[in-house]
Amino acid sequence: MLRVAPAKINLVLRVLRKRPDGYHDLASVMQQISICDELHFTLRPEGIVLQCPGTDLPTNEDNLIYRAARSIFNYAGYKAGVEINLNKKIPSAAGLGGGSSDAATTLMALNDLCSLNVSQTELMKIGAKLGADVPFFIFGKSAFAAGIGDRLQPLPDLPKLHLVLINPPFPLATKMVYENLNLTLTKKKNNYSIPRFYALGDVVRELYNDLEAVSLTMHPELSDFKQLLVKEGALGALMSGSGPTLFGVFADETSARQAKQAILKKVSGECLVFFAQSL
């Protein structure tokens, strides 16, 4: 069985407060996009075997895919095994949710392949124990996320997005970015209403990420990439998640594809540049 695991971008990411348990309450608009990892699942008599060719990713308990397979097998009491082959196309530690998407796809694929009959709600609960973004990839293609990212509401009216993404040649660890975020521990409640996106201009107007300033301080060159996206025609540009990937929103597919080619000529060969669309 072959399944694809899409990346995501955050169109809005507001960090509302730091909680007493150390986590952060967020308000985020998340959108799946057309850059995808590929996972191939083959049943075997016993054990979990994970292959990640062409990467330096772990193939044991340190990998979310492995832990996702073990989690759903344990939950459902499934006694056989599976071999999983990952064709990695989403950059790692890039703010695009690749690891979380792989885990979510593993849960859903094994639920189908092994006829485990686990409900979507139960899958999301299993996923939440693996990572804060995992439930989103089970939930749907676009969503408003609150809490630590675990309270999700659908956003069905988002317009089609045509995007160019620049992934710089260095990772940014989510934990490090949050540790450098200047938020004091507070019991104050913060409310943020769900934005409405009726047209592309609404999306561009709402683009916001509290983590961007932190990442730009750590890597000032990110500002140059953001400016380059706008110079090449993006209506708006933003860092996704904790970065370092930046994306630009373009008026249509043609202008986005043209911008991608122009940007490829201007950035270092170590940068990855993608055209993508919302799913």
Tokens read off for 49: 């075997």
Q: What is each CA distance from 16 to 26, 149, 162, 218, 246, in whole angstroms?
A: 5, 12, 29, 21, 22
Contact 183, 15 (CB under 8 A): yes
Q: Which of 8, 141, 226, 260 is catalytic?
A: 8
The span from the CA of 141 to the CA of 154, in Å, is 8
* Beta strand residue intervals within 24-169, DSSP E: 24-44, 48-51, 81-87, 142-147, 151-154, 162-167
| DSSP at 193 | P
* Beta strand residue intervals within 79-228, DSSP E: 81-87, 142-147, 151-154, 162-167, 208-209
Contact 249, 204 (CB under 8 A): yes
Q: Which of 51, 48, 64 is nearest to 114 (CA)?
A: 48
For the chain, the helix, strand and coil percentages under 3-state DSSP, each to the nearest 5: 30, 30, 40
Amino acid at 202: D
Is residue 21 part of the annotated active site? The answer reads no
Is residue 210 part of the annotated active site? The answer reads no
Query: Helices 64-76 and 98-113, interaxial angle, to 10°?
Result: 30
Which residues are within 8 A (CB) of 210 and not within 5 positions of it... i.e. 6 or more apart? 13, 14, 15, 181
> Which residue has tokens 């260095």?
170
Q: Which of 37, 133, 150, 260 is catalytic?
A: 133
Residues annotated catalytic, as ranges: 8, 133
